[in-house]
Chains A and B, each alone.
Chain A
């Protein structure tokens, strides 16, 4: 499937990137994280994209309050359907278990549904800290991350995966770099020199097991 994607604004940087870009944000300062993510979500709402947030440490109300302050109120102007916040563990592990295939499938359906509803593109951001709580299947998170880049690019779903450096080990953080083509560093989006093509990464990853 070959699609030409338009470029979208990220909100926290002037540069535009193709819709469907898969990025990671490794952070330890919550204020900086909140600043980047709120602007990312706000830019999506302003561009009339479908925006979804998967919250873990922050409560859904807290996430909505991030947007109220910069002048965007997702509860008004008919944006209620355009923006939704759900609990990350419920989204990633609907039956108490994380299955990468199911989630990839779900994300594909989500992308198609957004297009069907007339959204030019969609963007999501998820707090990945649910994966450190020992939920069955969470050890397969990196497999999912490696494969999701293609699904996101195909369906024009731009994604920022948030990894709290206080919660994930240094070794896992290096794997995070290997599966995200782009990374957010100092508020800028840079090409990730550690990124490995999914096939190569999965081979390496499975060998380790």
Chain B
């Protein structure tokens, strides 16, 4: 018996080793409950004559139940911060059970209860059990502190996330956070949407659920065709961290976007964008308007110069003959007086004609009759009646094709076009012995090209554009102000059509061709151009 008791007093190295291992495992056990199970099992396994349990503060009862024992000390141990430090903390609960307080300098967590059939069997391990209780307490303290830190961090993170999310979602700009995907050569080939905001959905029409976690080539496969440069730009931003700012047109969305891209971390990309389609459209309209105004301005300059020049010559004539009239009156040359007056009258008529033409030109852009369907054949017949005298005088043969199309536009203006072209053809017949005019239509690229062809004097190729300019009379001896073709061109322009002349050169005749857009397109074109003319008009 004495031998046996003595043998118990010497702690076994293997048992100490096992208890040490328990201490080592403590730090990975996630909860007091797991610790309780583990320590109970370990003590039972190491010290077969003992059973154990843990009473942890705040828990309803012992974690590992030891032979139905309850820890009598625990109810008093539920408050933190013990009065005394945990030295010499062995506490006998009753004869068979020893309780080791689980306490640190800062806190008290409960007890480790160890029951032994023979209490003296515990004696050799007493110091180690105290150490074990301290180790458990430290581990619990550690977990408690870590949990507090986690709670604080979680709270701070939640607040930060809330602030970020509010800003992210409230932004009017679309935002997409993406991760770039590169191929084995480092070439950017794709990106994955990690997050997008509400404005992204509104602008692109792509729902969050459709894009999150997906590759762009999967979510919007057409983007690669629309804007292949996006991949290069985004790849560069994500790999170098350099910011980028650009405008891009996406055909699949039919939208202009203004994009600013930056990289929050390597390989990632945040694109902030806005729909600027309206702005771009306004810019384009403005550019068109400026181009139109510039063209009109140069036309006006030429107009002012020519008008002043052309109006001057009848004025000089009038002035000259007025002086001569004065002299003839003084000297009594009555036969010359009539001649002087005739010259003055002719010059005044010429001046009136010029002024009427100028007035007519200014009206073309401003006045519009409601567009309507009008048969070209009717316009031709009416024009031929109006210029019948000239045709007859010149002995011109007129051939009209039977399949003339129906046009859509301002009927009186279109009549003016046809009449002017026919008059022009008659006027520039030159010495042609068999003057002939053909009026017809041909088809080019499914577009009707109407034409008035003559076998008159023809026009050298370098003058083909000039004939439509104001007062650009190639034949200075011909009648008229040289304003007729300018009026024709402007009427065709106003309708959104095109006019040009074809001639192989002098003596080879000329063909004046024009096209008009079909109904629908014509309306829009005419409205736009007319609006620009109206603007010009209001500035005059």
Assembled-state Cα–Cα distance A124/B322 (Å)? 122
Do A186 and B24 touch across chains, with their CB atoms under 8 A apart? yes
A190 surroundings in chain B (CB, below 8 A): 21, 24
Do A28 and B29 contact each other (CB < 8 Å), given the known contacts A193-B14, A193-B18? yes
- Interface flag for B25 (CB, 8 Å): yes
Minimal Cβ-Cβ distance residue in B for A196: B45
Assembled-state Cα–Cα distance A171/B38 (Å)? 5
- Interface flag for A27 (CB, 8 Å): yes
Do A170 and B24 contact each other (CB < 8 Å), given the known contacts A28-B30, A165-B29, A193-B18? no
- Interface flag for B34 (CB, 8 Å): yes
A178 surroundings in chain B (CB, below 8 A): 45
Do B24 and A185 touch across chains, with their CB atoms under 8 A apart? yes
Do A170 and B18 contact each other (CB < 8 Å), given the known contacts A26-B28, A177-B25, A190-B24? no
Do A192 and B21 touch across chains, with their CB atoms under 8 A apart? yes
- Interface flag for A135 (CB, 8 Å): no
A183 surroundings in chain B (CB, below 8 A): 21
- Interface flag for A166 (CB, 8 Å): yes
A177 surroundings in chain B (CB, below 8 A): 21, 25
A193 surroundings in chain B (CB, below 8 A): 14, 17-18, 20-21
Assembled-state Cα–Cα distance A188/B517 (Å)? 86
Pick from A29, A166, A171, A185: contact of B25, CB under 8 Å: A185
Minimal Cβ-Cβ distance residue in B for A177: B21
Per the CB 8 Å criterion, the residue count for chain A at the interface is 20
- Interface flag for B37 (CB, 8 Å): yes
Assembled-state Cα–Cα distance A169/B41 (Å)? 11
Pick from A165, A169, A192: contact of B28, CB under 8 Å: A165
Question: In residues 154-193 of chain A, which contact B (Cβ within 8 Å)?
Answer: 165-166, 169-171, 173-174, 177-178, 183, 185-186, 190, 192-193
Pick from B20, B21, B41: contact of A170, CB under 8 Å: B41
A29 surroundings in chain B (CB, below 8 A): 28
Minimal Cβ-Cβ distance residue in A for B34: A170
**Interchain Cβ contacts within 8 Å, total number:** 57
Most interface-central of A165, A170, A173 (chain B CB within 10 A): A170
Q: A8 → chain B, closest Cβ, in Å?
A: 24
Do A170 and B36 contact each other (CB < 8 Å), given the known contacts A192-B21, A194-B18? yes
Minimal Cβ-Cβ distance residue in B for A163: B28
Pick from A28, A166, A169, A192: contact of B37, CB under 8 Å: A169
Do B34 and A169 touch across chains, with their CB atoms under 8 A apart? yes
What range describes how many residues of B lie at the interface? 20 to 34
Minimal Cβ-Cβ distance residue in A for B21: A193
Minimal Cβ-Cβ distance residue in A for B24: A185
Do B17 and A165 touch across chains, with their CB atoms under 8 A apart? no
Pick from B20, B30, B42, B45: contact of A165, CB under 8 Å: B30
Do B30 and A166 touch across chains, with their CB atoms under 8 A apart? yes
What 1/0 mask marks residues of chain B from 144 to 188 whose CB sits below 8 Å from any chain A CB?
000000000000000000000000000000000000000000000
Q: B13 → chain A, closest Cβ, in Å?
A: 9
- Interface flag for B494 (CB, 8 Å): no
What 1/0 mask marks residues of chain A from 22 to 34 whose CB sits below 8 Å from any chain B CB?
0000111100000
Assembled-state Cα–Cα distance A75/B254 (Å)? 41
A165 surroundings in chain B (CB, below 8 A): 28-30, 34
- Interface flag for B422 (CB, 8 Å): no
Minimal Cβ-Cβ distance residue in B for A168: B34
Q: B48 → chain A, closest Cβ, in Å?
A: 11
Assembled-state Cα–Cα distance A89/B29 (Å)? 25
A194 surroundings in chain B (CB, below 8 A): 18, 21, 42, 45
- Interface flag for B380 (CB, 8 Å): no
Q: B256 → chain A, closest Cβ, in Å?
A: 39
- Interface flag for B74 (CB, 8 Å): no
Question: In residues 370-413 of chain B, which contact A (Cβ within 8 Å)?
Answer: none
> What would 13 more interface pairs be, CB under 8 Å, given A170-B34, A170-B38?
A26-B25, A26-B28, A28-B30, A166-B30, A170-B33, A170-B39, A171-B38, A173-B34, A174-B38, A185-B25, A192-B21, A194-B21, A194-B45
Which are the 9 A-B pairs with shortest beta-carbon distances?
A170-B37, A170-B38, A193-B17, A174-B41, A28-B30, A185-B24, A170-B34, A171-B41, A193-B18
6 intermolecular pairs with C-beta atoms under 8 Å apart: A165-B28, A170-B29, A170-B38, A170-B40, A178-B45, A194-B21
